[in-house]
Amino acid sequence: MKKLIIFTDLDGTLLDYSNYSFEAALPALDLIRERNIPLIICSSKTRKEIEHYRNKLSNLHPFITENGGGIYVPEDYFKFNMQDSQFKIEEAAGYKLIRLGAAYPDLRKALQKLRHEGFDVKGFGDMTGEEVTVVTGLSIEEAEMAKQRDFDEPFLVKGSGEDTERLLERIQGMGFNYTQGQFFHILGNSDKGKAVSILTDLYRKQYGGTVTVAIGDSPNDIPMLNRVDHPVVVRKHDGTYDRRINMPGVVKADGIGPRGWNSAVMKMISRLG
């Protein structure tokens, strides 16, 4: 029997958009633990932020940070030696790290150059913890975690839609990429999809056959959703689905954020688990 693996976004998906709660998803989370199904957090959040939620969720599985910038695998999680894989494996405080993203200092320099060119951009690295709290709704503790970045920089941009289009074109012209969730992000040659594919291959090496599910709500989840067997999109906080998520076979969960997540996971486990 193939091993079921579930990849999930956090903000607006497993976590409620307004209060960052996953209470509405508790029935599905309990069933996931009961069935010993790996639940892989794949988020734009930092390692510190994801560890915070992994602790709340009692989750001991690998996770993917900062829009695919880093894959963190707990020590001795897989039975095989990860050093034998095609990727350079780094030691990172109890994890094996596969680094895919750009160096954060390079992203900060790129934003500074964009400001010098006249673009009105402001990254998390330009903000105090209190300012990040205001724009995100996070607690001050979580805002400080959100500022501890390694591979990806969220930013705000002011100006017209035309100004934003010129900015995004300029980011690509500088050799970087961008994506969008709650904020725009500047990043290197990494995305959630590449990280999901790598981690899926590792699971296949461990278990043989796998069947994969991914759940998201925003454009930055599209690469992840495109790399799994069963993509799922939940409703956004206004009750709509993001129109940009329209790949073949996508399942539209019946509910906003964690309520939709719970409903979709229960149905998927019933079908596949």
Does residue 201 have an active-site annotation? no
DSSP-derived 3-state class of residue 192 = helix
Q: How far is CA 208 from the centre of its chain?
A: 25
Q: Which of 180, 196, 177, 179 is nearest to 188 (CA)?
A: 177
> What are the DSSP E strand ranges found in the chain?
3-8, 39-42, 63-65, 70-74, 89-92, 95-99, 120-123, 152-158, 177-180, 184-187, 210-216, 230-235, 251-256
What tokens were used for 12? 């607006």
Q: Which of 34, 42, 31, 35 is nearest to 8 (CA)?
A: 42
DSSP-derived 3-state class of residue 265 = helix
> Of 9, 191, 217, 242, which one is the catalytic site residue?
9
Q: Count H helices, E strands: the chain? A: 9, 13
DSSP-derived 3-state class of residue 262 = helix
Tell me the catalytic residues.
Answer: 9
